[in-house]
Homo-oligomer: A and B are copies of this chain.
Amino acid sequence: MSKKFNVAILGATGLVGRNMLKVLIENNFPINQLRLLASERSAGAEVEYLGEKIKVEAVNENSFDGIDLALFSPGKTAAIKWAPIAVKAGAIVVDNSSGWRMDPEVPLVVPEVNPNHLQNHQGIIANPNCSTIQMVVALKPLSDKFGLKRVVVSTYQSITGAGQNGINHLNAELEGKEPEKRISKHKIAFNTVFHSIDNPNGYSEEEIKMILETRKIMDLPDLKISVTCVRVPVIGGHGESINIELEKPATIDEVREALGNFPGLITIDNPLEGEYPTVQLADGTNPVYVGRIRKDDSVENGFNIWVVADNVRKGAATNAVQIAEELIKLGVLK
């Protein structure tokens, strides 16, 4: 019998934390003991796990004793505080916050793209930003075969990217009520808004994450990439309109073939029949989808693609669980 692991989820009551547990169960992850953790504020809630009700505990200095794998999806500050404590207790941490992603000692991993980075971990592995994950899955096969000269991406991001607060804000507005907690000063129902911007060059944190994380994951520190991130009132996944200049010439059939053969990436591209990936199609599923593969004649070796994934699953919970599965396969988690 193969080994089972003691697993903790920190941030277990949040949208991503709840989905981490869902994906662990669906994937039949070898769990021995399960510990659900959250902040003091969220502790006490009960979460169902295989017919049992498990009480969510307030995280403390001893929460990670005996834990093999800690899946983290708390706020950034909590992740920065608790990850070293979990590692010291002997756990491997897979953290979904942005707290550790750009730390040079921390691998930032999408299993289909850079599983090799897992070898050099120091106990913490970072799960990338949702918009980054789905983009690099689509870019990787093109980068490997043809090289990337430049990428221009505009995102269409689900309200679920702002967690349960985002869903509550949208629902309140659709019901004509004042939201209890706003995720934007603007109305979000029927509207386009941006992520919060605190960079003097006018870029949002989300846009900068996509640029820096993509370069790190793909081992392309000089990748030329321009990013505009937009939140739209959709639920179920993020869409991305990606314009790509390849280094080498490629026919559209060669591009289709490269995308079609890549693990975790599903092509739906029969536009004359109205068949293409939508965010609602991605909702509740684990793959990344690509469609609307078109030659772009405005530049040499230019192509347009449309990429969709469930941002809470492949963009967060699923990718974290896949990292853990990869750690087992590599014998790192043992």
Interface set of A (CB-CB < 8 Å, partner B): 150-152, 154, 156, 174, 184-187, 190-194, 196-198, 200-204, 224-226, 228, 230, 232-236, 239, 241, 243, 269, 271-272, 274, 276, 278-280, 292-296, 298-299, 302, 304, 306, 308
Given contacts A187-B280, A274-B186, A156 and B228 within 8 Å (CB-CB): no
Given contacts A190-B235, A233-B234, A271-B194, A228 and B200 within 8 Å (CB-CB): no
A152 touches B243 (CB 8 A): yes
User: Complex: how many Å from CA A193 to CA B296?
Assistant: 20
B274 touches A197 (CB 8 A): yes
User: Complex: how many Å from CA A194 to CA B278?
Assistant: 9
A230 touches B156 (CB 8 A): yes
User: Complex: how many Å from CA A226 to CA B274?
Assistant: 21
B156 touches A190 (CB 8 A): no
**CB-defined contacts of A278 to chain B, threshold 8 Å:** 186-187, 191-193
A276 touches B194 (CB 8 A): yes
**CB-defined contacts of A156 to chain B, threshold 8 Å:** 156, 192, 230, 232
Q: Copy number of this protein in the oligomer?
A: 2
**CB-defined contacts of A239 to chain B, threshold 8 Å:** 192, 230
User: Complex: how many Å from CA A186 to CA B268?
Assistant: 14
User: Complex: how many Å from CA A224 to CA B271?
Assistant: 24
A226 touches B243 (CB 8 A): yes
B230 touches A198 (CB 8 A): no
A272 touches B198 (CB 8 A): yes
Q: Closest 4 CB pairs between A and B?
A: A154-B154, A154-B241, A224-B298, A197-B271
User: Complex: how many Å from CA A271 to CA B201?
Assistant: 9
With both beta carbons as reference points, the residue of chain B lying nearest to A193 in the complex is identified as B278
B241 touches A228 (CB 8 A): yes
**CB-defined contacts of A276 to chain B, threshold 8 Å:** 194
**CB-defined contacts of A234 to chain B, threshold 8 Å:** 190-192, 232-233
A190 touches B236 (CB 8 A): yes
User: Complex: how many Å from CA A280 to CA B197?
Assistant: 20
User: Complex: how many Å from CA A191 to CA B277?
Assistant: 10
Q: How far is the CB of A151 from the nearest CB of chain B, in Å?
A: 8
Known A151-B298, A187-B278, A202-B269; 16 more pairs at CB < 8 Å: A152-B298, A174-B174, A186-B278, A186-B280, A187-B280, A190-B235, A192-B234, A193-B278, A226-B296, A226-B302, A228-B306, A230-B239, A230-B241, A232-B233, A233-B234, A243-B243
